[in-house]
Structure 1
């Protein structure tokens, strides 16, 4: 179930508030072992060996949560996860699990024993989840926030968090659907983007990527250009991006971007950027690269935030 971007809801008594974590969404299948599945149905269990101890055996259950890494200030950091998201080498994965340890923040219970819980209201699912006592060195159930929505959002901003998630107490779990029954309210804007090409760099970036061309799908499922991003990466990140994009080159334009000298690619890779707003032309204002999202399908990328002009 996916949250919809929006504003704080009314009717405080009908909603619960949780911290919005900045990580990788994963469904956990727990019995005598642990299997982790990403949002695009990829088995990512091997990438997170420190979570294996969550397996308890009896009864088996299925949970939903976010795999996160914390920065020095105790905040979840998507950037900290980037070195781990593309690794396949077992020894490298084990080393990174020690240097950049992950925590599975479990916020929903979908199935236990032979019983599906997705039709139960969120309030009841959450109560059952807390009764499982899932607390370990690399997994936990984050606390529910107590207070008004405006107070919780203000506090999340004060301590440097991304925002909060508002969940209706009577909400069922809707697999694969984006619903306003879960509403994410952010302090910082971010947007998933499909990489549709790049503009070659000049000067110190000669032979590397100067900027990436970004697109999202509109209401008709058509890719539309939303601007370029040229900041937010290291030289190593640029080299890795170029290595992934070069095999995807195509002769025709992926979108109508009108960018002279652009190199277009098949729209397969998904990234994430932060930005300050939308222009009247439908472009992102001041985008900054955050990283690739191998856990997301390009076909799912749509405009997250309601557009506004400034």
Structure 2
């Protein structure tokens, strides 16, 4: 079951429970005689995450998130990337990037399907299993503000009376991300595909550091058709034959003089100094590129 994105929490908050939105990989853990771990599309993750072996002693199917924590105890997607594609991680990788499982729902228990049980009852049964499920909070709590202060991704609001509907994105679950806005310098663009074929697929973002213009990621969402048309015209007049960035940039891109400043919203900085989940907001003609620093 998936959540619908929203810019704010629902007004009837007393009907919801709030959970922290963890920045990791979704996984179902099948417990019992032997533990099996599967991803959202049924891929077998059991060998990929051996730390999850032995969770629980009863026959159950648990829904939750696999994360790797940073030194401050916060989930780090950058650290998780060192694990998420390794089928048989070696002991050194296991020591450097150990995973933690954060359960938040219960789908089966001792052979009984729980899909039609309300969320509050599924959570009560999950808590009784004592498998390390983080708590959920009343909808009126200030959890969203608390996650923002702690540098976490946001919250998911779940209707207390909602059933579980696998494979659907339902308004019974609403996710609200903590977004921060900042200026970036446009140093290039990646050609689009499909509906955007012949135009801009994403913009190459940079900020100035003592080393020069430094790559901090691509932004490919948040644009209107009018935005894409305006940017395509502007960038066409700025095109150059070489990268303006001081550090390497992945993928093949079209390069431009770093004269345009834009504003994006994002959730956090990664360990590699990339903007996580950037969303385009607007051009900032009132800003000089040299003013956009790390």
Distance 2:112 2:33 in 1: 18
Say yes or no: does 1:141 pair with 2:142: no
Aligned to 1:116: 113
Aligned to 1:195: none
Distance 1:216 1:85 in 2: 27
Distance 1:263 1:158 in 2: 37
More strand by share: 2
Instruction: Structure 1: state its 5+ residue gaps.
Output: 135-139, 190-209, 233-255, 265-274, 278-286, 292-303
More helix by share: 1
**Total equivalences in the alignment:** 222
Aligned to 2:44: 43
Aligned to 1:73: 72
Contact 2:15 2:139 in 1 (8 A): no
Aligned to 2:2: 2
Q: Deviations over 1:239-285 (max 9, x none)?
A: xxxxxxxxxxxxxxxxx997989859xxxxxxxxxx517xxxxxxxx
* Larger Rg belongs to: 2
RMSD over aligned CA atoms reads 3.4
Counterpart secondary structure, 2:125: helix
Aligned to 2:155: 164
Distance 1:86 1:38 in 2: 12
Contact 1:68 1:76 in 2 (8 A): yes
| Counterpart selection for 1:213 from 170, 185, 190 | 190
Counterpart secondary structure, 1:85: coil
Distance 1:167 1:231 in 2: 37
Distance 1:48 1:308 in 2: 38
Contact 1:230 1:289 in 2 (8 A): no
Contact 1:17 1:164 in 2 (8 A): yes
1:1-310 equivalent positions in 2, closer than 5 A: 1-6=1-6, 7-54=8-55, 56=57, 58=58, 60-88=59-87, 90=88, 92-134=89-131, 140-146=132-138, 148-149=140-141, 151-188=142-179, 213=190, 226-229=201-204, 275-276=264-265, 288=274
CA offset at residue 147 of structure 1? 6.4
Distance 1:71 1:11, change over 3 A: same
CA offset at residue 212 of structure 1? 7.8
